[in-house]
Structure 1
């Protein structure tokens, strides 16, 4: 049985005042019957389940120390039942390989008291069904999901169940987890900012790394004005120690940034870091560029190589960041084969 694992690197477990979140992601792959589940609090993985091991387990020390074994037994039982349901209801007519994902959770701002909740489904990487609590209805954004939408809306008891869980139980659980991990979750790590360039004609990367929490603002400025054109914002990526990294790329000719003041401005928590683009500040491996310390030349090569490997390793996680509340793993859209069973069998 092939294992399809969503890779998340967890080391330092940190949090912040303001907005907090509790999210769960379930992914099932037809054909090999693979099923994985992860739980995240403030983007830090605290729970993992794989049908190959059939055991839910804690991923943080504070969860290992505070939760009794019966909690993990109940989690395991629930996830095995979820996997069985998917096998019996979704993949009964499976043809080829497809993905089915469930994403749900809640957000809470401890400063304003504002909350937000969600439960969504995806099929082959496309949004298939979601719960709209403003109208108390399940909604499908695609015509192929209308049958599932009708089935779920007729199951009013399930709608009441999920409304209660998301608006009350989920928020309570989030607060409990924040309290359990308080000693570890109160810390912050300030970002390290570097300007990187492959050679003198390449785009300039504002590479920000080793920061936590994940909320961060990175902008390129030209003569004090924020730039939108020729700027590409990269995805948020996890580091092995549990911190994060992100890159924002500037496409500008050398003559242009030498004649104007270009700077990368990073805002994280209450701290602002500004890096002005100059030949002395930029790190490059172009041998014809202005003389720089050779140790500085080696660093960006290593960083860029590791970044490329990390991008390949966490491709599933990239999509989660791209789709703010979905976390869906992309797959080639296919509305044939097992979709007929999805249309008629989904009961959220």
Structure 2
């Protein structure tokens, strides 16, 4: 049976607002001689902008625009901060190995932190998380200014860090001022790259088990994307697992939405994956049967006449003003209050 294409023409297009992000990832290892002991990566909107490792001891720009716009003082400061972070995390992993009663083997401590900024509402948010040996260890609840322990061994760390009010003050300043200030500068500097719009390539295929179908979108930019499964035109909320948006390594992204559906259900109803992206009109892919095998029939939304834009009333949260910050675009607090 041949795949039947159905063209859905949309009269109303809803504009997207973009959420930008600035993230830093620090990794310290123990027991891996063939791997750099420490590495740091900075990312804007999911794209790597700077990279450092303890072998080269150099901060390397990964985007031409960041190298073009920032001076030697910036790169000197970034190198110093990376070295300070390495020394601090090396002590941290030593403490954690003792706490977990570990004397040998491979161990990894990771710190992830950053901020996000909605370019339409101007609302910002921040986060900070630590992971140990691949599991959550402790995270910062920025709204209530408290640490949340994910493991019993992290309770001691939480109780210690909660007593340092100065640490909360410095983090509040960083996440509400420094981080979003630099994020906006980076977005401005890299606008030609970060602001490009590349439409997704969408496909539908069977999952590893016979009772699942996967909708896969890839090669799109920016990373914001909506993926929805519909049954006979109705949006499905159950039996759908939407994964995280992942980088492809070339500046584009991919995402998948998996649907649990039996072969009998596929025959009784029509299942369509709808993908919405800022680059253009929604793309629909209908799951059909061809020679007994499910395939995806791509249906791209079209525009009839002029594109009709509708205004949307948004309830905006209170804005957080990004005041001018100092030179440090990272969280620079590596005092006694950060030791676990």
TM-score (normalizing by structure 1) = 0.70
Residue matched to 1:53: 56
Seen in structure 2, the aligned counterparts of structure 1 residues 132 and 278 have a Cα distance that, compared at 3 Å, is closer
Contact 1:28–1:99, Cα closer than 8 Å, also in 2: yes
Seen in structure 2, the aligned counterparts of structure 1 residues 117 and 72 have a Cα distance that, compared at 3 Å, is same
Aligned-residue offset at 1:17: 4.5
C-alpha distance after superposition, 1:159-200 (max 9, x if no partner): 222221111011100011011111222211111212224899
Contact 1:24–1:104, Cα closer than 8 Å, also in 2: yes
Residue matched to 2:288: 278
Contact 1:107–1:116, Cα closer than 8 Å, also in 2: yes
Residue matched to 1:105: 114
Q: Output aligned runs, 1:229-268, within 5 Å.
A: 229-268=238-277
Seen in structure 2, the aligned counterparts of structure 1 residues 163 and 231 have a Cα distance that, compared at 3 Å, is closer
Alignment partner of 2:181 out of 168, 172, 182: 172
* Aligned length, in residue pairs: 276
Query: Is 1:117 aligned with 2:101?
Result: no
Contact 1:151–1:346, Cα closer than 8 Å, also in 2: no
Residue matched to 1:126: 135
Name segments (4+ residues, structure 1) moved above 4 Å: 198-202
**Structure 1 unmatched runs, 5+:** 1-15, 281-287, 297-343
Seen in structure 2, the aligned counterparts of structure 1 residues 89 and 141 have a Cα distance that, compared at 3 Å, is closer
Aligned-residue offset at 1:155: 2.9
CA distance in 1, matches of 2:93, 2:338: 7
Seen in structure 2, the aligned counterparts of structure 1 residues 256 and 190 have a Cα distance that, compared at 3 Å, is same
Query: Is 1:95 aligned with 2:87?
Result: no
Which deviates more, 229-238 or 49-58? Answer: 229-238
**Structure 2 unmatched runs, 5+:** 1-15, 297-335
Seen in structure 2, the aligned counterparts of structure 1 residues 254 and 128 have a Cα distance that, compared at 3 Å, is closer
Contact 2:24–2:114, Cα closer than 8 Å, also in 1: yes
CA distance in 1, matches of 2:144, 2:209: 55
C-alpha distance after superposition, 1:272-299 (max 9, x if no partner): 111222235xxxxxxx647x9xxx9xxx
Aligned-residue offset at 1:209: 1.4
Contact 1:89–1:345, Cα closer than 8 Å, also in 2: no
Q: Output aligned runs, 1:1-348, within 5 Å.
A: 17-32=17-32, 34-91=37-94, 93=98, 95-96=103-104, 97-197=106-206, 203-269=212-278, 271-279=281-289, 289=292, 346-347=338-339
CA distance in 1, matches of 2:239, 2:212: 10
Contact 1:38–1:48, Cα closer than 8 Å, also in 2: yes
Aligned-residue offset at 1:91: 1.6
Aligned-residue offset at 1:250: 3.1
Seen in structure 2, the aligned counterparts of structure 1 residues 143 and 250 have a Cα distance that, compared at 3 Å, is closer
CA RMSD of aligned residues (A): 2.9
Aligned-residue offset at 1:56: 1.2
Contact 2:130–2:137, Cα closer than 8 Å, also in 1: yes
